[in-house]
Amino acid sequence: MSDCLFCKIIAGDIPTEKIYEDAEVLAFHDIRAQAPHHFLVIPKKHIASLNTADDAILIGKLSLTASKIAKDLCFADEGYRVVMNCNANGGQTVYHIHLHCLGGRALSWPPG
């Protein structure tokens, strides 16, 4: 069995609140939401980080999936943020690539 937390979520070994799923990607609520809307979009294929990603279509699909969900949940027009943390200085803690989508409140910039 994989040691990767998000591979375990994909396999159904760890329960999660799924929002969207197809053959290539899964979206689910972040367990420690930092905004009224905060979900993660991940590829079903294990990719550790943006540094080891090479599938442009799949990486692009993460963003378009986030946008589709934001529209479906009716917070796209007021705005939202998508962000991908990479490695230690980027704040990455789970080494299965994931796109954060945050919305439902005004977000400050730049991040700390």
Residues in touch with Zn ion (CB under 5 A):
4, 6-7, 46, 96
Segments in the chain forming alpha helices (H): 5-11, 56-72, 87-90
Interacting residues with ligand 5GP (CB under 6 A): 5, 14, 16, 28-32, 85, 91-94
Q: How far is the CB of 93 from ligand 5GP (least distance, A)?
A: 4
Active site residue 38: no
Q: Measured from the CB atom, is 37 or 100 closer to Zn ion?
A: 100
Q: How far is the CB of 31 from ligand 5GP (least distance, A)?
A: 3
**CB 65 within 8 Å of CB 41:** yes
Q: How far is the CB of 77 from Zn ion (least distance, A)?
A: 33
C-alpha dist (Å) from residue 110 to 30, 75, 82, 106, 107:
21, 21, 13, 13, 9
